Chains A and B, each alone.
Chain A
Amino acid sequence: MKLLKTTLASAIAVAAFGLSTQASAGTTLDTVTKKGFVQCGVSDGLPGFSYTDARGAYLGIDVDVCRAVAAAVFGDASKVRFTPLTAKERFTALQSGEVDILSRNTTWTSSRDAGMGLSFAGVTYYDGQGFLVNKKLGVKSAKELDGAAVCIQAGTTTELNLSDYFRANGMKYTPITYDKSDESAKALEAGRCDVLTSDQSQLYAQRIKLAVPDDYVVLPEVISKEPLGPVVRRGDDEWFAIVRWALFAQVNAEELGVTSANVEDLAKTSKNPDVRRLLGAEGEYGKDLRVPKDWAVKIIKQVGNYGEMFERNVGQGSELKIARGLNALWSKGGLQYAPPVR
């Protein structure tokens, strides 16, 4: 009888759990509004993208993407909670509903987009894979890396590109795989591997964390395309649209010259119809997205336009000093382009 009781009890518990998972497959926007914050999956510590400062506050481009979404939904960019995830954990965390957005320098690929039940909402950073080596080795090009021991992060596109590159060039390598980017960087410093490979932006970020950054150089070769962007669960188009347009609003704002400093004035005084539509002074474009009318104003006031976000986190206003390059606006020779608000 005791056995029977426990069996029944656990059966009921399991059934209830099953039902609740089915229920949570409803709309993400509703659950987010109900709980009052956006749960955002970020990296486990990567300067410029997502890391914590001395007071424990999260900073970085990936962090700002989530803050922009919170600003659009709640009018308050601080209504975000962050979950640090390793590369290996990230997709399961999103699929299972543990996080609402995965904003963790994740590369957009066809298999991730179509096969894993995910949707990439846009590209926050156009990146490419590179190599970081110790100057002492005297290596000038990635073509000289035959026989090297290479540190990589497990479960990334980097792992695959690396093997493609070495195979294509008829070279051999020894992969040393760690779960966390910190561990790879430490292994490089200790000499467990000769070279660290990752997206170039990450290499610059990891380089400044090393004990003597000047002993290390990033090699000139870029061996892959790595468009990084926020990811949401597939099948929730409404939430997908909010995340995507939060980013587009920032890019459009930069293009239209709207900054965090002038956004509130422009919302009242601007005569430019593009600006008026973006800032909610004309039309009801927020309603289509199921967010408040002044959603873009809140985003730009609290997080800034795309250019401000870039310079503050990884550009000239940061330690990384990465040039805009591919991430300049389309009108300035880059790839950042957003459809218009209308």
Chain B
Amino acid sequence: MQKPVTGPSVRGSMLTDPKIRAWAFQILAVATVVAVGWYLFHNTQSNLAQRGITSGFAFLNNPAGFGILQSLIDYTEGDTYGRVFLVGLLNTLLVSVLGIIIATIIGFVVGVSRLSPNWLISRLAALYIEIFRNIPPLLQIFFWYFAVLRAMPPPRDSHALGEALFLNIRGLYLPAPAAADGFWAFLVALAIAVAGCVAVARWARQRREATGQRFPVLITCLALLVALPVLAALVAGSPFTWSVPTLTGFNFRGGWVVIPELVAITLALSIYTAAFIAEIVRSGIQAVSHGQTEAARSLGLRPGPILRLVIIPQAMRVIIPPLTSQYLNLVKNSSLAAAIGYPDLVALFAGTVLNQTGQAIETIAITMSVYLAISLSISLLMNWYNKRIALVER
């Protein structure tokens, strides 16, 4: 009877079999990572305990006891550290959102101007880009905060724009609206106007695709958005009562205030990031072959529609991925706000709360995860948009 040739040769192949080796190494790698992670965790825990440093997240429920310059939600000194975290997060998001919107607008305008056939416009755009993308953002923040906004007059000599707007070193004071009788009618009218806009835009697009005839959507929309709410206000009464800032004692009271710290950080980051976005937009437009422009021209399209309907939609595919990185940079750079005392997440939570509680590991871990979460959300959103506008082959 013949013996099956298994014995030694199989044992030999265990060591040389690439599949088994691959598995073994991967298991080893995972085990190492887990062991190191556990070791670090354990080491930290025992060191913290040994030195008598409080750990854990219970501090989030303790009262904070300090005031905050700017808060988008109700906050008093008696609120908890958890609430301080929310205040800081919202302040960071406020700068990020404002910054992304303004940077995108400036960036697209400058990027398109950079390619303008007009010599002056294209040179001005080039100058803008070269100046602002080559100066560190922190210096730009300092420039706006210390050089520009510190030059404003004290509250008692404010620049007054009419009776309701005041500009001084403490910020821009605006009248604040509060809901009055006509508020709901106003809101409903606004909602109808928006819905109308969407309907008109859709109808105009379908008609254009079917017949080639264009319809002035933008003007119609603006007219709707202005006329309907005004009509509602006339019929149902004023939608708002205005609380006007007045100078009492040291400062203006009442109304809204836009603090100089917010203005400085938003301006600096928008202008800085816009310089990069402009270059991205320019490269995106130049990536669309010139033949497209010529083809559009030979179809009889004018320069505006060529840019809007032919060039930009194709350029967007090149623009979106690097644009996402710029948005992420802007969000992360917003942590520089701490340098001028703007109460963002880093200044407030990773700074003041860390110092008041002494729980460095917890606060830094929370802060880092928040930035990670914000960045990942932006990435996801932009990737989804990128997929949507990607070239569809027909």
Which A residues are within 8 Å of any B CB, using their own CB? 1, 3-4, 7-8, 11, 14-15, 18, 21-22, 25, 87-88, 90-92, 95, 111-112, 114-118, 137, 145-149, 154-156, 159-160, 162-164, 166-167, 173-179, 183, 187, 190-192, 194, 233-235
Q: Quick check: is B354 within 8 A (CB to CB) of the other chain?
A: yes
26 A–B contact pairs at CB < 8 A? A3-B29, A7-B32, A8-B32, A21-B43, A87-B355, A88-B351, A88-B355, A92-B354, A95-B51, A95-B358, A111-B358, A115-B53, A116-B53, A116-B358, A148-B249, A149-B250, A159-B66, A159-B352, A160-B356, A162-B67, A163-B67, A166-B67, A179-B338, A183-B341, A192-B169, A234-B52
Contact in complex: B32, A11 (CB < 8 Å):
yes
Q: Quick check: is B137 within 8 A (CB to CB) of the other chain?
A: no
Closest to A17 in B: B40
Q: Name the one of A3, A88, A118, A166 contacting B352, with C-beta atoms under 8 angstroms.
A: A88
Contact in complex: A18, B352 (CB < 8 Å):
no
Residues of B with C-beta under 8 A to A118 = 358
Closest to A134 in B: B154
Contact in complex: B154, A191 (CB < 8 Å):
yes
Contact in complex: A174, B251 (CB < 8 Å):
yes
Closest to A113 in B: B52
Contact in complex: B249, A147 (CB < 8 Å):
yes
B140-194 contacts to A (CB < 8 Å): 150, 154-155, 169-170
Question: How many residues on chain B are close to A (CB under 8 Å)?
Answer: 47
Give Cα distance in the complex from A233 to B51, angstroms: 7
Q: Name the one of B67, B250, B343, B352 contacting A155, with C-beta atoms under 8 angstroms.
A: B352
Contact in complex: A155, B33 (CB < 8 Å):
no
Residues of A with C-beta under 8 A to B33 = 7, 11
Give Cα distance in the complex from A91 to B51, angstroms: 13
Q: Name the one of A8, A160, A174, A234 contacting B69, with C-beta atoms under 8 angstroms.
A: A174
Residues of B with C-beta under 8 A to A148 = 249-251
Contact in complex: A191, B355 (CB < 8 Å):
no
Residues of B with C-beta under 8 A to A159 = 66-67, 352, 356
Residues of B with C-beta under 8 A to A87 = 355
Give Cα distance in the complex from A173 to B170, angstroms: 13
Smallest CB-CB A-B distances: 7 pairs: A155-B355, A116-B358, A117-B53, A117-B51, A175-B67, A163-B77, A159-B66
Q: Quick check: is B347 within 8 A (CB to CB) of the other chain?
A: yes
Residues of A with C-beta under 8 A to B347 = 154, 177, 179
In angstroms, how far is the closest chain A Cβ from the Cβ of B357? Answer: 8
Contact in complex: A147, B355 (CB < 8 Å):
no
Closest to B350 in A: A88
Contact in complex: B352, A154 (CB < 8 Å):
yes
- Evaluate whether A115 and B343 lie within 8 angstroms (CB atoms) in the complex, with A146-B249, A147-B253 already known: no
Q: Name the one of B65, B343, B351 contacting A163, with C-beta atoms under 8 angstroms.
A: B65
Residues of B with C-beta under 8 A to A149 = 170, 250-251
Residues of A with C-beta under 8 A to B250 = 137, 145, 147-149, 194
Closest to B351 in A: A88
Q: Quick check: is B383 within 8 A (CB to CB) of the other chain?
A: no
Contact in complex: B51, A234 (CB < 8 Å):
yes
Contact in complex: B51, A115 (CB < 8 Å):
no
Interface centre among A21, A25, A162, A175 (most CB of B within 10 A): A175
Give Cα distance in the complex from A116 to B347, angstroms: 20
Give Cα distance in the complex from A91 to B260, angstroms: 30
Residues of B with C-beta under 8 A to A162 = 66-67
Interface centre among A8, A25, A146, A160 (most CB of B within 10 A): A160
Give Cα distance in the complex from A192 to B192, angstroms: 44
Residues of A with C-beta under 8 A to B14 = none
Contact in complex: B358, A173 (CB < 8 Å):
no
User: How many A-B residue pairs lie within 8 Å, measured between CB atoms?
Assistant: 145
Interface centre among A1, A173, A194 (most CB of B within 10 A): A194
- Evaluate whether A115 and B351 lie within 8 angstroms (CB atoms) in the complex, with A4-B29, A147-B248, A191-B169 already known: no
Contact in complex: B52, A175 (CB < 8 Å):
no
In angstroms, how far is the closest chain A Cβ from the Cβ of B86? Answer: 17
Give Cα distance in the complex from A194 to B155, angstroms: 10
Q: Quick check: is B39 within 8 A (CB to CB) of the other chain?
A: yes
Contact in complex: A21, B29 (CB < 8 Å):
no
Q: Name the one of A22, A91, A178 contacting B358, with C-beta atoms under 8 angstroms.
A: A91
Interface centre among B43, B51, B354 (most CB of A within 10 A): B51
Give Cα distance in the complex from A145 to B251, angstroms: 11
- Evaluate whether A25 and B50 lie within 8 angstroms (CB atoms) in the complex, with A87-B355, A147-B250, A175-B67 already known: yes
In angstroms, how far is the closest chain B Cβ from the Cβ of A128? Answer: 18
B342-369 contacts to A (CB < 8 Å): 343, 347, 351-352, 354-358, 360
In angstroms, how far is the closest chain A Cβ from the Cβ of B64? Answer: 9
Interface centre among B67, B150, B169, B352 (most CB of A within 10 A): B67
In angstroms, how far is the closest chain A Cβ from the Cβ of B147? Answer: 11
Give Cα distance in the complex from A164 to B63, angstroms: 12
Closest to A116 in B: B358
Q: Name the one of A92, A147, A190 contacting B251, with C-beta atoms under 8 angstroms.
A: A147
Give Cα distance in the complex from A73 to B333, angstroms: 45
Contact in complex: B341, A176 (CB < 8 Å):
yes
Contact in complex: B43, A18 (CB < 8 Å):
yes
Contact in complex: A92, B360 (CB < 8 Å):
yes
Give Cα distance in the complex from A258 to B68, angstroms: 49
Q: Quick check: is B36 within 8 A (CB to CB) of the other chain?
A: yes
Residues of B with C-beta under 8 A to A160 = 65-66, 356
Give Cα distance in the complex from A178 to B339, angstroms: 8
Q: Name the one of B40, B54, B67 contacting A14, with C-beta atoms under 8 angstroms.
A: B40
In angstroms, how far is the closest chain A Cβ from the Cβ of B198? Answer: 42
Question: Known contacts A162-B66, A192-B170, A194-B251; can you find 5 more A-B pairs with CB under 8 A?
Answer: A14-B36, A88-B351, A90-B355, A159-B67, A234-B53
